[in-house]
Structure 1
Amino acid sequence: MAFVAALCLSSVLVFSISSGADALSLNYYEKTCPDVDSIVTNAVNHAMMKDKTVPAALLRMHFHDCFIRACDASVLLNSKGNNKAEKDGPPNMSLHAFYVIDNAKKEVEASCPGVVSCADILALAARDAVVLSGGPTWDVPKGRKDGRTSRASETTRLPSPSFNIAQLQQSFSQRGLSLDDLVALSGGHTLGFSHCSSFQSRIRNFNATHDIDPSMHPSFAASLRSICPKSNRAKNAGTTMDPSSTTFDNTYFKSILQKRGLFSSDQSLLSTPKTKDLVTKFASSKANFNKAFVSSMIKMSSITGGQEVRKDCRVVN
């Protein structure tokens, strides 16, 4: 779930947690597609056995979907004609594992044609990504609809790795998410990998006074400088988000307390008493982190806004 874009702070975004007629339900497919959970889980598990980066990719994909136009699977749509879709926007160019959702959708359609939205499949896949990486499980509320609009230009709404705490708080609050949600969901960075471009500014020529970001541990900065060349020619150069990057645990928060958070946005969680207390709480207890993460994931993934159930996740009906 690496945050890799600049937020358009002047824009007014309207996001709604589902309620009333659009409310999600745990038993939404109980009669129409009772096996949907197991079908999606099997697809994720099969992909993960071949590629250990799949869980991080799916979790990040779901986050990036929900933060732009609500959790409506708009991130899955392909560009068409003159319209450049979200997946081709700068912060989403490194998203991958779309094939996992395609495979799950194919199996779901074979079992229950025209019933299950791509948005629900992505929400389920993100949950499975966490569980299969050693994290907590939860019942995913279902009933999302798929959106018909996807614009690369709107990916500027995603939080940036360079954000400070005030910018992060504004970004999350625009989506009805609290500081508690911000810290808990940032814990998704326990999975995955980042390219040097997302943290290069912290390890060289940081500002007029410091070559290295003073909030970063010197030995950590030195190790990153050895990985990342001065020029960005090595496009694939980078490092894992935390030392246990394929296991969903609370190592991310421990790293922040050690001044080894990879992004400025990660390390900024220590800059207010409220967020620092939460980082400390989660670093000292995996159980506390798991509980908070589950609550915040359900809250975030309940931001709705779609209109249809796509037959193919990559194109509108």
Structure 2
Amino acid sequence: MTRTLTSMLIVLFSVLALANGSYLYPQFYDRSCPQAKDIVRSVVAKAVAKEARMAASLLRLHFHDCFVKGCDASILLDNSGSIISEKGSVPNRNSARGFEVVDQIKAALEKACPQTVSCADILALAARDSTVLTGGPSWEIPLGRRDSLGASFSGSNQNIPAPNNTFQTILTKFKLKGLDIVDFVALSGSHTIGNARCTSFRQRLYKNTGNGQPDLTLDQSYAAKLRQNCPRSGGDQNLFFLDPVSPTKFDNSYYKNLMAKNGLLSSDEILFTQNQQTMEFVKQYAANQELFFQQFAKSMVKMGNITPLTGKNGQIRKICRKVNS
């Protein structure tokens, strides 16, 4: 296919998308805000350089946003009027972070292209850039999401997979969002960076079969090390690396850790111990980082397509924390 024909097809697709108002496509801001992607990347790069953990936090925000009402930036809304913020839900309280970085990105974009780039698209771009900055894969992001006019506190509590959910519960939560068992394993690989709080995995250290001993699917020397800073009571907010091998590098160590009984969360460990199919994926990704990267990129695009608001639905918020007055 010639370059000219390719360009014509892109333009045609863009026109159709605009007319239909329901497509996301990578070129969405090429005319209205051509510097949008560079602005997001620049602010994210500074934030991650200042604090490596921020990459995982921004990636997690996108995930926790999409799993509630779709990828509509509802997670960014503060309490106000009739809105009960998702920030106070169990999955987000004391753990969701990166909101100030999103504010900085939004302020820079508003200066360059007022009321053009949505907060929902900022989350999608920041998640991709965070992955790339820490050594992970890149992918082309379909854009054109719009921002929600409300939040769902109950949806945040119900829809986001929890560290202590059963295998079937988590898989069901994925399937309800149009994601499958492959996406479940690949997206869990985002735990190759970031931290978890003691309260998220304490039950694995003290409650195995009610005898106060560590979970048998956890390496016992690793468990003993974890118990030093995650006591039976207290220390809820103490932080631990999800991947103790290369905590700030996006790689396939996460899967190797699972095979060595060094998965931190119960929701990680079950991928290797409770289902034959997911166990095989874990082995494949542990052996082949490129394969994991390819699938992670595909699954991130798929997740980013969960019921976005497009066309005239929703709005482009001027400030990500509140709906336009």
Q: How high is the TM-score relative to the length of structure 1?
A: 0.91
Match of 2:316 in 1: 309
Q: Which 5+ residue runs of structure 2 have no aligned equivalent?
A: 1-19
Match of 1:149 in 2: 150
Q: Aligned pair count?
A: 297
Match of 1:28 in 2: 28
Give distance in 2, aligned partners of 1:82 and 1:143.
27
Match of 1:112 in 2: 113
**Cα distance per residue 1:257-302 (max 9 Å; x no partner):** 0011111110110221110110000001110110000000000011
Match of 1:247 in 2: 249
Q: Which structure has the larger Rg over C-alpha atoms?
A: 2
Match of 2:221 in 1: 219
Q: Contact 1:183–1:269 (CA<8 Å) still a contact in 2?
A: yes
The CA deviation at 1:51 is 1.3
The CA deviation at 1:170 is 0.4
Tell me, what secondary structure is at the counterpart of 1:90?
Answer: coil
Equivalent AA in structure 2 for residue 60 of structure 1: R
**Aligned mate of 1:276, from 275, 279, 294:** 279
Give distance in 1, aligned partners of 2:228 and 2:108.
45
Equivalent AA in structure 2 for residue 314 of structure 1: R
The CA deviation at 1:209 is 5.5
Match of 1:11 in 2: none
**Cα distance per residue 1:175-223 (max 9 Å; x no partner):** 0001000000000011111111000001002223672211111111111
Equivalent AA in structure 2 for residue 187 of structure 1: G
Tell me, what secondary structure is at the counterpart of 2:196?
Answer: strand
| 2:77 equivalent to 1:69 | no
Q: Contact 2:83–2:150 (CA<8 Å) still a contact in 1?
A: no
Identity within the alignment, %: 41
Q: Contact 2:285–2:291 (CA<8 Å) still a contact in 1?
A: yes
The CA deviation at 1:105 is 0.8
Give distance in 1, aligned partners of 2:118 and 2:307.
12
**Cα distance per residue 1:77-118 (max 9 Å; x no partner):** 011146420012122121111111111111111111111100
Tell me, what secondary structure is at the counterpart of 2:91?
Answer: helix
| 2:62 equivalent to 1:59 | no
Give distance in 2, aligned partners of 1:265 and 1:285.
22
Match of 2:293 in 1: 290
The CA deviation at 1:150 is 0.9
Give distance in 1, aligned partners of 2:224 and 2:123.
38
Q: Contact 1:147–1:305 (CA<8 Å) still a contact in 2?
A: no
The CA deviation at 1:35 is 1.0
Q: Contact 1:79–1:88 (CA<8 Å) still a contact in 2?
A: no
Match of 1:259 in 2: 261
Give distance in 2, aligned partners of 1:152 and 1:95.
14
- CA-based RMSD of the aligned residues comes to 1.3
Q: Contact 1:169–1:182 (CA<8 Å) still a contact in 2?
A: yes
Equivalent AA in structure 2 for residue 285 of structure 1: N
Match of 1:37 in 2: 37
Comparing 87-96 with 208-217, greater Cα deviation is found at 208-217
The CA deviation at 1:148 is 1.0
Equivalent AA in structure 2 for residue 118 of structure 1: C
Q: Contact 1:77–1:85 (CA<8 Å) still a contact in 2?
A: yes
Equivalent AA in structure 2 for residue 117 of structure 1: S
Give distance in 2, aligned partners of 1:110 and 1:21.
26
Equivalent AA in structure 2 for residue 308 of structure 1: Q
Give distance in 2, aligned partners of 1:66 and 1:302.
8
Give distance in 2, aligned partners of 1:170 and 1:252.
23
Q: Contact 1:26–1:140 (CA<8 Å) still a contact in 2?
A: yes
Match of 2:180 in 1: 178
Give distance in 2, aligned partners of 1:46 and 1:210.
44
Tell me, what secondary structure is at the counterpart of 1:239?
Answer: strand
Match of 1:124 in 2: 125
Equivalent AA in structure 1 for residue 263 of structure 2: G
Indicate the structure with greater helix content.
2
Equivalent AA in structure 2 for residue 108 of structure 1: L
Equivalent AA in structure 1 for residue 137 of structure 2: P
Q: Contact 2:69–2:152 (CA<8 Å) still a contact in 1?
A: no
Give distance in 2, aligned partners of 1:166 and 1:235.
27
Match of 2:9 in 1: none
Give distance in 2, aligned partners of 1:57 and 1:210.
32
Which consecutive segments of 4 or more residues in structure 1 shift more than 3 A?
A: none
